[in-house]
């Protein structure tokens, strides 16, 4: 018996694929080729069996040049099943909370890097990429920002945000390959939501639409010119008034050379999303951003259920399958990320009372039908 080494083509790394640990880029297949032996020349070669399909989400996704991501929290890394599932099945992680302003910058001159540093170290040790989340959001802010001792002026708030972005992006320069620079800036009509960074009091661009987003992108780009920069939002998955607003921003930024690499589609849904009309609209939406030369990342996917009956889990599996198939069909779709991977640590039950069971692994880390449907679609 001889080992036959079957390598994936180098193209597998060309769309941002993470490096795999050890020799995981290659499959070793016991071939048992008669022709490999020094036996008589009259023996008939046994046909080489095809290699088995990649057996994990990350390996299977890599053959499509797609990163399989998950939100993660450093507090759970000491749990062996959490760590082993994350590192085996995913090629990207994104801190679910620990890089948000209030957690990473709790006091004006204090940065709390220990938790996110641990996530970055874990990712690096396991050949995973890190997606940063997030730099500019009007939620999960520290008291020193929301209740300052003396009221902000646009000039002082501008300086504070500039300092924040320079510090955080600078700290992770070369380690975080992509950032959600601005999170959830749009309202349902595709206009900018009133918020501290825009107009209350804002950083100096109140009433100027996406100008504050442009400023944040420029600051982030200055701190790490190689990082990919994203604007991320919810309810922008299909073509609608909100995603039209995001598209208009993207088109304008691309035309003027503002450093935008792509957009994030959050995707907190339930199985009712899974209609032909929505899937078609999603495809068109990804395609139009792709036509601008931008990447589209699915950033926070979960498919919440009201119960874990077979019918619900089957509908959920079909939803995951249909979404990964749309992503695989669109070259611009380079990241397929879920908001966590185990039902044990999902935000859903506390924010949607009565709902849960939203992720591909159950609370005991067992693979659910959703996992199997994803893997099968990727194979
Ligand atoms: O860390 C404290 C803990 O000390 C305290 O004991 C506990 C008591 O409630 O709260 C803990 O903080 C919670 C934090 O998650 C960490 O678990 C907050 O209360 C809770 O509000 C916070 O929720 C997060 C939420 O963003 C905040 O808006 C979720 O975990 C997180 O999944 C969610 O993620 C967002 C994305 O960033 C943006 N898109 C939507 C998505 C879902 O809301």
Tens digits of per-residue pLDDT, 30-82?
Answer: 333 333 333 344 577 888 888 888 899 999 999 999 999 999 999 999 999 99
For residue 67, the model assigns a pLDDT of: 99
Looking at 184, 237, 266, 295, which residue is catalytic? 184
For residue 42, the model assigns a pLDDT of: 55
For the Cβ of 89 lying below 6 angstroms from any atom of ligand 1, the answer is: no
The best mutation among 347, 355, 356, 358 to test binding of ligand 1, ranked by most ligand atoms within 8 Å of the C-beta, falls on 347
pLDDT at 26 over 60: no
Tens digits of per-residue pLDDT, 208-262?
Answer: 999 999 999 999 999 999 999 999 999 999 999 999 999 999 999 999 999 999 9
CA of 67 to the centre of ligand 1 (A): 25
- CATH of 57-378 given 3.90.105.10, 3.40.50.1820, 3.20.20.80, 3.40.50.300: 3.20.20.80
Query: By alpha-carbon position, which residue is closest to atom 9 of ligand 1?
Result: 350
Query: By alpha-carbon position, which residue is closest to atom 16 of ligand 1?
Result: 97
For residue 294, the model assigns a pLDDT of: 99
- 3-state SS of the chain? CCEEEEECCHHHHCCCCCCCCCCCCEEEEECCCHHHCCCCCCCCCCCCCCCCCCCCHHHHHHCCCCEEEEEECHHHCCCHHHHHHHHHHCCEEEECCCCCHHHHCCECCECCCHHHHHHHHHHHHCCCEEEEEEEECCCCCCHHHHCCCCCCCHHHHHHHHHHHHHHHHHHCCCCCCEEEEEECCECCCCCECCCCCCCCCCCCCCCCCCHHHHHHHHHHHHHCCCCEEEEEECCCCCCCHHHHHHHHHHHHHHHHCCCCCEEEECCEECHHHCCHHHHHHHHHHHHHHHHCCCEEEEEEEEECECCCCHHHHHHHHHHHHHHHHHHHHCCCEEEEEECCCEHHHCCHHHHCCCCECCCCECCCCCECHHHHHHHHHHC
For the Cβ of 214 lying below 6 angstroms from any atom of ligand 1, the answer is: no
Query: By alpha-carbon position, which residue is closest to atom 17 of ligand 1?
Result: 97
How is the chain split into domains, by residue range? 1-52, 57-378
For the chain, the average pLDDT equals 91
For residue 54, the model assigns a pLDDT of: 86
For the Cβ of 273 lying below 6 angstroms from any atom of ligand 1, the answer is: no
For residue 53, the model assigns a pLDDT of: 87
Pick the range with the lowest mean pLDDT from 3-12, 38-47, 319-328, 370-379. Answer: 3-12
pTM: 0.90
94 is catalytic: no
For the Cβ of 106 lying below 6 angstroms from any atom of ligand 1, the answer is: no
Averaged pLDDT for residues 277-296? 99
For the Cβ of 96 lying below 6 angstroms from any atom of ligand 1, the answer is: yes
For the Cβ of 97 lying below 6 angstroms from any atom of ligand 1, the answer is: yes
184 is catalytic: yes
């Amino acid at each position: 018996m001889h080992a036959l080494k079957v390598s994936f083509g180098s193209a597998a790394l060309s769309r941002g694929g993470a490096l795999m640990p050890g020799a995981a880029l290659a499959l070793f297949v016991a071939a048992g080729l008669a022709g490999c032996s020094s036996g008589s020349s009259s023996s008939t070669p046994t046909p080489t069996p095809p290699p088995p399909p990649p057996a994990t989400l990350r390996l299977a996704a890599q053959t499509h040049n797609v990163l399989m991501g998950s939100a993660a929290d450093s507090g759970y890394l000491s749990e062996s099943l959490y760590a082993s599932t994350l590192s085996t099945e995913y090629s990207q992680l994104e801190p679910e909370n620990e890089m948000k302003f209030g957690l990473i910058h709790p006091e004006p001159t204090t940065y709390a890097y220990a938790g996110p540093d641990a996530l970055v170290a874990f990712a690096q040790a396991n050949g995973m990429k890190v997606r940063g989340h997030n730099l500019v959001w009007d939620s999960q802010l520290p008291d020193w920002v929301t209740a300052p001792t003396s009221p902000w002026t646009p000039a002082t708030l501008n300086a504070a945000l500039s300092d924040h972005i320079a510090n955080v992006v600078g700290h992770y320069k070369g380690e975080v390959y992509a950032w959600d620079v601005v999170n959830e800036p749009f309202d349902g009509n595709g206009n900018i939501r009133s918020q501290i960074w825009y107009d209350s009091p804002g950083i100096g661009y109140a009433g100027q639409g996406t100008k504050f987003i442009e400023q944040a992108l420029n600051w982030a780009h200055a701190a790490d010119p190689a990082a990919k920069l994203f604007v991320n939002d919810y309810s922008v998955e299909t073509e609608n008034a909100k995603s039209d607003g995001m598209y208009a921003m993207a088109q304008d930024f691309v035309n003027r050379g503002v450093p935008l690499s792509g957009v994030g589609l959050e995707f907190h849904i339930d199985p009712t999303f899974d209609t032909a009309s929505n899937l078609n609209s999603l495809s068109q939406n990804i395609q139009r951003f792709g036509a601008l030369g931008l990447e589209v990342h699915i950033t926070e996917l979960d498919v919440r259920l009201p119960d874990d009956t077979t019918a619900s889990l089957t509908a959920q599996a079909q939803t995951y399958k249909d979404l990964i198939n749309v992503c695989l069909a669109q070259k611009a779709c380079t990241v397929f990320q879920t908001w966590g991977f185990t039902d044990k640590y999902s935000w859903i039950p506390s924010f949607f009372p009565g709902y849960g069971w939203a992720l591909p692994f159950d609370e005991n880390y067992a693979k659910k039908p959703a996992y199997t449907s994803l893997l099968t679609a990727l194979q």
